[in-house]
């Protein structure tokens, strides 16, 4: 970004800005304080609900782009036949204070949910098409990210190139400089937003850009778990060093709760079901699902291609870090947010298993 | 297909045929003309059929289409959606998403070769569209053989069609059942037991197969033993599917999405996967 695209935003003005947005009818999402000192990403009904300085909670901004339960359409049966509802227009959403890792996960979603040629003459059978539900949410959102001056205790985004600050992929990026934010613009949408609220954004102060760089360097020194070096682990997987014994060892620690997938900002598998809302109407909806559950792949005959917990653990790591998937989409399926480290009761989170992978070869199949 | 990949076309059941006690064949037509126009299928493709309130499930198309927006599929009642379909009658409305997936025609060209079709149970219907295609281009192909295996004689679908095929001179149909009944005079045993009885011109044969995973597994093992080139073994993979459009993740095997990259694969595409295909 060129120099003149940088601004300054006084922290004291933020409550007023957010209040204006909410009054105007925009959906404003941000980190909210939970009851037990935790926090989660949610829709604010008042700027007062905003959490102060926070470490990413379990539920991140994935809840906005890919809600846990989302209506796909409504159906209605009447004398004249079946009718399906069309999607309704929703207001702009301002996603305030999303962390770099979660923003990176949204960018990954773009390459998956948003993928495909548009329908039309160039559409070939078999080509994936973009996901209309995701696109609608993505298109109406302005993402205002915030860089992390200090890493959380379980974070490892330095290993996945998804933080603590971003070079691109945001609409607006904020850096906390004490009494003000240093503001970088990353997209036309971000520029538009700033133009709309000019009175809050003043030209960046002398030296702020430099301060932002220094903060990034300092932040990188605060990581407590920079242990997730993926490259060697990926080679081990790719070259066939990880034998069934390896996955069995991982599975021995897994209780099959699916927690890792629930908290993962990059997991996007879902179930589809219908729910009756009366005798003649109802909705089709999707809800988060996980490859960790046996029912995810069990066929009607009872045949299950991933029948054991070891099969399913392998699947999760394979999808995230195998070269095979990288061929299709050149981003690994982990943004280093550290949530699985906190969530997994068995201690077989991403950085741990990556470390096991690195230390495993055909001669020593068990980590 | 519809640009909103989750929105089905409202369609009408125009005819139902009872195949076996638990299996019926549905003729279906998309109601709106502008939507019907978009529905042109190729052999091997499938649809997601919705019974609103019960959900949707994938079914292989059994015909090469005579006109856009018209289709036929055969369903064995075994779960929520399929049982709900079994309750419906001619004139009832369902939802259709599709055509989905790729086609047998995307794989090796069978022109100028012998064709061997191997179907198991409810695996015959999805092959039917390819069988039609070969009949429509019969002179482009050499010998044409169909092997069909079912659990019992009563479990065979398309019995009227089978007896017609039996009479044909340009097609060899061989049937077998796992368990015979009193009237059955044909073969007994799994389909692979029929292989030694066939005089196959191995280098010049293309095989199309669909059926239960365990059948496909042994069919492929036996064909490889006979020396059939891997590219000439073409199989459909059936996985538990939800969305059918490459987003929900249920059908993934290795790094492949069976619903969009399949359901038709040749053996070179599925043999090296990080997971067992069958
Ligand atoms: C590409 C493709 C083409 C297909 N073509 C055809 C076709 O032409 N004709 C056809 O009849 N079928 C076909 N099928 C299979 C068909 O889609 C399934 O039979 C259908 O999805 C079942 O849906 P349902 O809602 O009725 O079952 P569900 O209600 O979903 O019931 C099945 C689910 O319940 C559970 N379940 C049920 N029984 C058991 C059990 N015994 N043990 C353990 N768990 C169990 C499992 O989770 C299972 O997935 C095809 C499938 C695919 C993927
Ligand atoms: S959180 Fe841990 S125990 Fe739970 S499913 Fe994931 S790996 Fe298994
Ligand atoms: S069935 Fe949903 S991704 Fe294939």
Listed in sequence order, the DSSP H helices in B87-211 are 124-136, 159-167
Q: List, for residues A82-110, the tens digit of each pLDDT value.
A: 999 877 889 999 999 999 999 999 999 99
Ligand 2 geometric centre to CA of A260 (Å): 5
* Distance (Å) from CA B95 to ligand 3 centroid: 18
Residues B113 and B248 in one domain: yes
Q: Are residues A274 and A328 in the same domain?
A: yes
B142 lies in the same domain as B220: yes
Higher-confidence residue of A313 and B271: namely A313
Domain with residue B183: its CATH number is 3.40.50.80
Q: Are residues B62 and B200 in the same domain?
A: no
DSSP letter string, A307-358 = -SHHHHHHHHHHHHH-HHHHHHSSS-S-----HHHHH-TTS--HHHHHHHHH
A41 shares its domain with A149: yes
Please list the residues that pair with B176 across neighbouring strands: B149, B187
Residues B91 and B114 in one domain: no
Query: Domain count of chain A?
Result: 2
Q: Among partner residues B45, B50, B276, which is closest to A125 by beta-carbon distance?
A: B45
Q: Has residue B276 been placed in a domain?
A: no
Give the angle A34-A37-A41 at the CA atoms, nearest 5°: 35
Q: Do A327 and B255 touch (CB under 8 A)?
A: yes
Domain boundary among B71, B100, B129: B100
Q: Which ligand lies nearest the alpha carbon of B243? A: 3
Q: Which of B 57-76 lie inside 8 A of A, CB atoms?
A: none
Chain A residue closest in CA terms to B101: A126
Q: Cα(A245)–Cα(A366) distance, rounded to whole angstroms?
A: 6
Q: Which residues contact B114 (CB under 8 A, 6 or more apart)?
A: B141, B142, B143, B144, B145, B200, B201, B204, B205, B206
* Rounded to 5°, angle at Cα B174 from B170 and B176: 165
Q: Which of A125, A264, A329 to mutate to test the interface with B (most CBs of B within 10 A)?
A: A125
Residue B277: inside a domain, yes or no?
A: no
- Paired with B210 in beta bridges are B119
Interface test with B, best of A78, A126, A326 (most B CBs within 10 A): A126
Give A-chain residues touching B53 at CB under 8 angstroms: 75, 274, 276, 282
Domain hosting B164: range is 104-271
Let me know whether A207 and A285 are in one domain.
no
Does B83 contact A at CB distance below 8 Å? no
B84 and B207 share one domain: no
Q: Which ranges of chain A have pLDDT less than 50?
A: 1-3
DSSP-derived 3-state class of residue A143: strand
The answer to whether A25 contacts chain B (CB < 8 Å) is no
* Probe target for ligand 3 pocket from B242, B256, B261, with the most ligand atoms within 8 Å of CB: B242
Taking CB atoms and an 8 Å cutoff, what residues of chain A touch B238?
299
Query: Is residue B117, in this structure, part of any structural domain at all?
Result: yes
Domain CATH for B25: 2.40.30.10
Return the residue in B12, B52, B269 with the most chain A beta carbons within 10 A, the one to mutate for interface testing.
B52
| A-B Cβ pairs (cutoff 8 Å, strict) | 144
Does residue B278 lie within any of the structural domains?
no
Q: List, in order, residues 6 or more apart from B250 with CB less than 8 Å away.
A: A269, A271, A289, A296, A297, B239, B240, B241, B242, B243
As a residue count, chain A comes to 367
Domain annotation covers residue B126 = yes
Domain boundary residue among A165, A198, A222?
A222
- Nearest atom (ligand 3) to Cα of B244: 1
Are the beta carbons of A132 and B5 separated by less than 8 Å?
Answer: yes
What is the whole-number distance in angstroms between the Cα of residue A302 and the centre of ligand 2?
Answer: 24
- B108 touches A: beta carbon within 8 Å: no
Instruction: Specify whether A244 is located in the same domain as A338.
Output: yes
- Nearest CA-CA partner of B11 in B36, B43, B42: B36
Q: What is the pLDDT of residues B15-64, one digit of tens each?
A: 999 999 999 999 999 999 999 998 999 999 999 999 999 999 999 999 87
Q: A197 and A95 share a domain?
A: yes
Question: Which atom of ligand 3 is closest in space to residue B257's alpha carbon?
Answer: 4
The distance of A247 to chain B (nearest Cα, Å) reads 13
Indicate if the alpha-carbon torsion angle A62, A140, B2, B81 is positive or negative.
positive
Residue B258 inside a domain? The answer is yes
Q: What's the number of domains chain B is made of?
A: 2
pLDDT for the residue A3: 42
Backbone dihedral region of B244: left (phi > 0), alpha (psi from -120 to 50 degrees) or beta?
A: left
The verdict on A298 touching B (C-beta cutoff 8 Å) is: yes
Residues A12 and A108 in one domain: yes
**How many Å lie between the centroid of ligand 1 and the Cα of residue B56?**
10
For residue B274, the model assigns a pLDDT of 67
Task: For residue range B216-252, list pLDDT tens digits in order.
Answer: 999 999 999 999 999 999 999 989 999 999 999 999 9
Please check whether residue B235 lies inside any domain of the structure. yes
Measured in Å, residue B79 CA sits from the centre of ligand 1 at 6
Residue B91 confidence (pLDDT) above 90: yes
Q: Tell me, yes or no, if B3 comes closer than 8 A to chain A by beta carbon.
A: yes
In a domain, A365, yes or no: no
Within-domain flag for A315: yes
Instruction: Name the residue facing B93 among A81, A274, A284 (closest C-beta).
Output: A81
Do B89 and B113 lie in one domain? The reply is: no
Q: Return all residues near B123 (Cβ < 8 A) that are at least 6 apart.
A: B209, B210, B211, B212, B215, B236
What is the residue with the minimal CA distance to atom 7 of ligand 2? A254
Helix, strand or coil, per DSSP, at residue A234:
helix
Question: In angstroms, what separates the C-alpha of A354 from chain B's closest C-alpha?
Answer: 18
Cβ of A272 within 8 Å of Cβ of B275? The answer is: no
Q: Which of B77, B100, B123 is the last residue of a domain?
A: B100
| Percent residues over pLDDT 70 in chain A | 95
Structural domain includes residue B96: yes
Its pTM stands at 0.92
Are residues A109 and A250 located together in one domain of the fold?
no
Q: Are B73 and B112 in the same domain? A: no
Task: Give residue A226's pLDDT.
Answer: 61
**Which range of residues forms the domain containing residue A30?**
6-67+74-222
Q: Assess whether A171 and A290 both reside in one domain.
A: no
Q: Does one domain contain both B76 and B195? A: no
Contact A125 B102 (CB under 8 A): yes
Which of B3, B240, B260 is facing A119, going by the closest CB pair?
B3
d(CA A367, CA A359): 7
- Fill in the DSSP letter of residue A361: B
Q: How far is CA A274 from the centre of its chain?
A: 26
Which chain A residue has the Cα nearest residue B80?
A300
pLDDT digits (tens, 9 = 90+) for B156-175: 999 999 999 999 999 999 99
Do A57 and A203 lie in one domain? The reply is yes
Whether chain B has a CB inside 8 Å of the CB on A324: the answer is: yes
Q: Is residue A18 part of a domain?
A: yes
| A227 found inside a domain | no
pLDDT value of position B50: 97
B41 with B138, same domain: the answer is: no
- The residue of A305, A320, A325 whose CB has the most chain B CBs within 10 angstroms, and thus the best one to mutate to test that interface, is A305
Interface subset of B 15-34, CB within 8 angstroms of A: 31
Residues A261 and A218 in one domain: no
From chain B, the residues in CB contact with A133 under 8 A are 6
User: Per the CB < 8 Å rule, is B101 touching A118?
Assistant: no
Question: Residue A312's closest CA among A332, A287, A294?
Answer: A294
**A311 at interface of B, judged by CB pairs closer than 8 A:** yes
Ligand 3 pocket by Cβ (under 6 Å): B 241-244, 246-251, 257, 259
Asked whether residue A367 is domain-assigned, the answer is: no
- Top pLDDT among A118 and B154 is at B154
Establish if A364 belongs to a structural domain: no
Burial of A12 (0-12, 13-18, 19+ CB in 10 A): exposed
Mean pLDDT, residues B69-95 taken together: 96
Q: Are residues A115 and A197 in the same domain?
A: yes
Q: Are residues B72 and B40 in the same domain?
A: yes
For residues B150 and B256, state if they share a domain. Answer: yes
Is residue A154 included in any domain, yes or no? yes
| CA nearest neighbour of A316 among A262, A366, A235 | A262
Please tell me whether residues B91 and B13 are part of one structural domain: yes
């Amino acid at each position: 970004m060129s120099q003149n695209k940088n601004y300054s935003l006084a922290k004291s003005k933020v409550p007023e800005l957010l209040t204006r947005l909410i009054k105007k009818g925009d959906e404003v999402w941000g980190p909210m304080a939970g009851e037990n000192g935790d926090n989660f990403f949610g829709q604010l009904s008042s700027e007062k609900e905003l959490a102060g300085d926070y470490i990413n909670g379990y539920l991140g901004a994935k809840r906005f782009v890919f809600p846990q339960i989302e209506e796909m359409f409504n159906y209605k049966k009447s004398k004249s036949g079946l009718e399906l509802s069309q999607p309704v227009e929703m207001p702009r959403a301002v996603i305030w204070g999303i962390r770099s890792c979660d923003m990176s996960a949204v960018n990954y979603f773009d390459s998956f949910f948003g993928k495909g040629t548009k329908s039309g003459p160039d559409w070939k059978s078999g080509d994936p098409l973009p996901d209309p539900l995701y696109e609608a949410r993505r298109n109406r959102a302005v993402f205002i990210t915030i860089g992390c001056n200090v890493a959380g205790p379980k974070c490892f985004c330095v290993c996945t190139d998804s933080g603590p600050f971003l070079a691109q992929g945001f609409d607006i990026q904020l850096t906390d400089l004490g009494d003000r934010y240093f503001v970088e613009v990353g997209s036309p949408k971000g520029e538009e937003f700033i133009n709309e609220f000019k009175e809050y954004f003043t030209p960046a102060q002398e030296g702020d850009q430099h301060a932002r760089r220094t903060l990034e360097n300092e932040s990188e020194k605060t990581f407590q778990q920079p242990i997730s070096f993926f490259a060697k682990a990926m080679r081990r997987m790719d070259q066939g060093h990880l034998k069934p014994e390896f996955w069995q060892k991982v599975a021995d620690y897994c209780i099959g709760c699916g927690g890792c997938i629930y908290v993962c900002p990059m997991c996007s598998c879902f179930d589809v079901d219908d729910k009756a809302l009366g005798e003649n109407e109802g909705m089709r909806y999707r809800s988060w699902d996980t490859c960790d559950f046996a029912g995810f792949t069990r066929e009607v005959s009872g045949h299950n291609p991933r029948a054991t917990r070891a099969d399913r653990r392998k699947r999760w790591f394979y999808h995230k870090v195998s070269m095979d998937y990288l061929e299709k989409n050149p981003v690994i399926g982990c943004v280093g947010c550290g949530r699985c480290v906190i969530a997994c009761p068995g201690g077989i989170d991403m950085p741990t298993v990556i470390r096991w992978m690195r230390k495993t070869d055909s001669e020593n199949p068990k980590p | 297909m519809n640009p909103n990949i989750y929105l089905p076309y409202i369609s009408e059941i125009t005819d139902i045929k009872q195949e076996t006690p638990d299996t019926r064949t549905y003729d279906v037509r998309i109601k709106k003309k502008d939507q019907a126009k978009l529905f042109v299928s190729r052999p091997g493709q499938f649809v997601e059929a919705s019974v609103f309130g019960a959900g949707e499930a994938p079914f292989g198309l059994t015909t090469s289409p005579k006109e856009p927006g018209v289709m036929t599929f055969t369903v064995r009642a075994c779960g929520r959606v399929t049982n709900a379909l079994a309750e419906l009658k001619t004139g009832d409305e369902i939802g259709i998403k599709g055509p989905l997936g790729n086609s047998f025609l995307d794989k090796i060209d069978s022109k100028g070769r012998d064709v061997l079709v191997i179907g198991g149970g409810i695996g015959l219907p999805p092959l039917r569209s390819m069988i039609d295609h070969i009949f429509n281009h019969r002179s482009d192909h050499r010998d044409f053989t169909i092997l069909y295996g079912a659990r019992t004689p009563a479990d065979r679908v398309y019995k009227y069609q089978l007896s017609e095929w039996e009479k044909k001179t340009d097609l060899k149909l061989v049937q077998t059942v796992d368990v015979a009944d009193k009237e059955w005079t044909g073969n007994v045993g799994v389909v692979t037991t029929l292989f030694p009885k066939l005089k196959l011109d191995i280098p010049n044969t293309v095989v199309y197969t669909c059926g239960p995973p365990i059948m496909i597994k042994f069919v492929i093992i036996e064909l490889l033993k006979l020396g059939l080139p891997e590219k000439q073994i073409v199989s459909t993979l059936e996985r538990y599917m939800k969305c059918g459009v490459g987003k929900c993740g249920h059908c993934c095997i290795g790094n492949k999405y069976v619903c969009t990259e399949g359901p038709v694969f040749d053996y070179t595409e599925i043999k090296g996967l990080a997971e067992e295909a069958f």
